[in-house]
Amino acid sequence: MDLPHRRQPRREPTPSAAASPLQGVLDSEARAMLERALQDLPAEQRAVFCLRVFEELSYREIADVLAISIGTVMSRLSRAREKLREALAPYLAAARRAGSEP
């Protein structure tokens, strides 16, 4: 028995889907830059940053895991963020300029 073929509703591409090849390149470029910047951090700062950002641990949990004080967690995290900000500044500035062009 032949069933009538139902036409699927057309889906308009979302802006992210329309820009996906270019966005994929930019995302991989950004990811590579971030990975390089993370590798350049001192190990102590990298550990605190990764536990906070990627593992989403609280300051107390990080302090417990690394057997350091919360104050040390805060200072290492602050220094890591500042170094990453400096390392990624050229990329972020270029991305802002590219985003503001028509």
Task: Kindly tell me if the per-residue pLDDT of 67 is higher than 60.
Answer: yes
Q: What is the pLDDT of residue 23?
A: 65
Q: What is the pLDDT of residue 82?
A: 97
User: Using one digit for the tens of pLDDT, what is the confidence trace for 20-62?
Assistant: 666 666 678 888 999 999 999 999 999 999 999 999 999 999 9
Q: How far is CA 37 from CA 34, 43, 46, 69, 95, in A?
A: 5, 12, 10, 25, 17
Predicted TM-score of the model (pTM)? 0.69
Q: Are 73 and 48 in contact (CB under 8 A)?
A: yes
Domain boundaries, the chain: 25-100
Task: Quickly name the fold that domain 25-100 has.
Answer: Arc Repressor Mutant, subunit A (1.10.10)
Residue 84 CB contacts under 8 Å (≥ 6 apart), including other chains? 34, 37, 38, 41, 49
